[in-house]
Amino acid sequence: MKKITILDIAKELNITFSTVARALNDHPAISAATKKAVRETADRLGYRPNKVASSLRSGKTKIIGVLVPRLDVSFFSSVVHGIEGVMNENGYTILLYQSQESVKQENKGIDTFLRSRVDGIIASISLETEGPGGYEEVKERNIPLAFFDRVPQGLDVPSVTIDDYRGGFMATEHLIKAGYRRIVHINGYRNVHIFNERLRGYLDALTQHGLPIDEDLIVKGDFSLEFGRKCVRDLLAKGTAFDAVFTLEDFTAMGVVQELKAVGKHVPKEVGVVGFANEAFTSLVSPAVSTLDQRTVEMGEEVAQLFLRLLKKGNYYSHKPEKIVLIPKLLVRESSSR
């Protein structure tokens, strides 16, 4: 199949290729008859506009780079699902890159996007990323940029996040109101902003409700199901009294529940448990695990829409960046209902 260009269509119709180009782009100054003839010939010959050529000429690719840590984490794939849906409806395509939680790989992604001349970048930074990193250059090149969930420090950019502080607060307050008093919080050992926020919410909820802050109840570690189990074992071994656990995410909460069941502690009667993220399994296990929904698809749609508004503005870095904060939804289930 020979490659058909506007020149082939032009020859076929004995007109010039610029007339063909205009007809295809529905230019107002072209007669209906010409447009019709051009379109028919284009269809007949199997013409496909070459986006590469038009991008080179126009300076617009209609491609948005989306950079996420990893797509096998349901949080990120849901958000990307939301982003793609909205972008697609608006004529944009998604160029996808995974940082695999590594700064080096993240910077490679940014570099690829810059070389590819994407019309913009939507990202969520890796756990390793400390400062603005490679995103500084994106800003300098005046390429529109928006973040979701994990936003770099030291770079004033548009973003959609959930209120992790509120999430931590809501979870803890809910446990307090349910009558739990000695609430363990399992956090991550890494110094990540959103983790710190959840911790801050936990602390403030305790304080506001007149409960003491007990350092023994704040555990830092990797997050995994196994770590949740280990935490419970360690706390019991040390003889630390506790009657509830609020974890950084759901897998740890699941581990906590499993270990408590294993040692014969009833959830929620003896110990209440609340996770974070609303992973699919939390509603299916028994007891169903209370958690905070992060509104993932919505987050993707919001960041895409925010991005489209930004694109319309032009001058991407002269306005005050729009920052949307979604309130997480507390889902009270069996694990904390007594």
Partner DNA sequence: GTGAAAGCGCTAACAA
Partner DNA sequence: TTGTTAGCGCTTTCAC
Residue 312 in contact with DNA, rule: CB under 7 A: no
Residue 93 in contact with its own copies, rule: CB under 8 A: yes
Residue 221 in contact with its own copies, rule: CB under 8 A: no
Q: What H or E segment, with its residue span, contains residue 10?
A: helix 6-13
Among 211, 285, 311, 331, binds its own copies (CB under 8 A): 285
Least CB distance from residue 55 to its own copies, whole Å?
A: 5
Residue 41 in contact with DNA, rule: CB under 7 A: no
Among 19, 41, 290, 335, binds DNA (CB under 7 A): 19
Residue 57 in contact with DNA, rule: CB under 7 A: yes
Site for DNA in 190-249 (CB under 7 A): none
Gap between the Cα atoms of 112 and 135, Å rounded: 13
Among 11, 12, 54, 337, binds DNA (CB under 7 A): 54
Q: Which is nearer to DNA, 20 or 256 (CB)?
A: 20
What DSSP string describes 138-184? HHHTT--EEEESS--TT----EEEE-HHHHHHHHHHHHHHTT--SEE
CA-atom Rg of the chain in angstroms? 26
Residue 6 in contact with DNA, rule: CB under 7 A: yes
**What are the strands, taking DSSP E only, across 149-287?**
159-162, 183-188, 218-221, 244-247, 272-274
Residue 33 in contact with DNA, rule: CB under 7 A: yes
Q: Which is nearer to its own copies, 13 or 95 (CB)?
A: 95
Gap between the Cα atoms of 143 and 311, Å rounded: 10
Gap between the Cα atoms of 233 and 3, Å rounded: 68
- Name the binder of 31 from DNA, its own copies, none, CB < 5-8 A by kind: DNA
- Name the binder of 16 from its own copies, DNA, none, CB < 5-8 A by kind: DNA
Say if residues 328 and 111 touch (Cβ distance below 8 Å). no
Say if residues 289 and 261 touch (Cβ distance below 8 Å). no
Closest CA to 92 of 300, 297, 307, 295: 307
Six token digits for residue 297: 């698809």
Residue 45 in contact with DNA, rule: CB under 7 A: no
DSSP 3-state of 235: helix
Among 3, 141, 238, 320, binds DNA (CB under 7 A): 3
Binding characters for its own copies, 137-166, by CB under 8 A (x = yes): x--xxx------------------------
Among 71, 127, 211, 311, binds its own copies (CB under 8 A): 71
- Name the binder of 70 from DNA, its own copies, none, CB < 5-8 A by kind: its own copies
DSSP 3-state of 70: coil
Gap between the Cα atoms of 177 and 209, Å rounded: 9
Six token digits for residue 102: 């590594």
Least CB distance from residue 21 to its own copies, whole Å?
A: 15
Q: Contact residues for DNA (CB under 7 A)?
A: 3, 5-7, 14-19, 21-22, 24-25, 27, 29-31, 33-34, 47, 49-50, 53-54, 56-58
